[in-house]
Amino acid sequence: MSRSRTRILIADDHPLVRGGLRHLLERDGEFQVVAEAADGSEAIALATLHKPDVVLLDVGMPRISGPDAAMQIAAKAPGTRIIMVSMHSDEAYVLRALKAGAQGYLLKASPEVDVLAAVRAVAAGNAYFSPSITRMLVEDYVLEMQRRGKEDSYDLLSIREKEVLQLLVSGKSNREIANLLFVSVSTVETHRTNILQKLNLHSLPELILYAVRKGLIS
């Protein structure tokens, strides 16, 4: 029996970009583009209607911006995973995308192989960032640690906390982690709180960004 194809929504205000992405994604039969959106409002409506596996969402969408659209898609189609597509590699843009509910961040200048890798990774429940962004974040992190003359705060985490961190940044919910580790949800919540405190972070998006900078996820 053939494997079901990953269902994709492409949201970009440029028809040529949408057409190029559709051709790239559908040419080998692994993916199915179920809809295309030309603005943020249309992206929300089509994502709510079709509930695709993955949305490729341009940051600079008309009517409703990409991050604002992502927040509504995450609320209305919680099973849908979002890859934000942007020309900006600044950390602030990446963090805003994560806070909006995106699981991936892809630069518009990315080669075709990175686009396919991003969709595969995010569809499988993992996070994905363009390699150039990952390199930049890792280099900035190393330089900042050297400037401060501090040891790595990651070493403050216990083995179980590192395990929980890895599961959190891969997109697993507290309940899913509890089932995987055979512990209670409250135990996972306690680990999550301790991890954030030890790393001086305040939210899951910040934790994901930390994990990218540490090279813990791609």
pLDDT tens digits, residue range 93-149?
A: 898 999 899 999 999 989 999 999 999 999 998 889 998 888 887 777 777 666 666
Whether residue 13 is found in the same domain as residue 117? yes
Co-location of 17 and 121 in the same domain: yes
Q: Are residues 46 and 112 in the same domain?
A: yes
Which residues are CB-contacts of 88 (< 8 A; sequence separation ≥ 6)?
A: 59
58 sits in which H/E element: strand 54-58
User: How many structural domains compose the chain?
Assistant: 2
140 lies in some domain = no
Task: Provide DSSP, 10-34.
Answer: EE-S-HHHHHHHHHHHHTTSSEEEE
Residues 197 and 99 in one domain: no
Residue 106: in which H helix or E strand, if any?
A: strand 104-107
Please say which residue of 130, 160, 195 terminates a domain. 130
Same domain, 20 and 70: yes
Q: Which pLDDT band holds residue 153 (cuts at 50, 70, 90)?
A: confident
Full residue range of the structural domain in which residue 177 is found: 151-213
Same domain, residue pair 119 and 198: no
pTM beyond 0.85: the answer is: no
CA-closest candidate to residue 57, choices 96, 91, 29: 96
Mean pLDDT in residue range 67-83: 94
> In CATH, what number is assigned to the domain containing residue 71?
3.40.50.2300
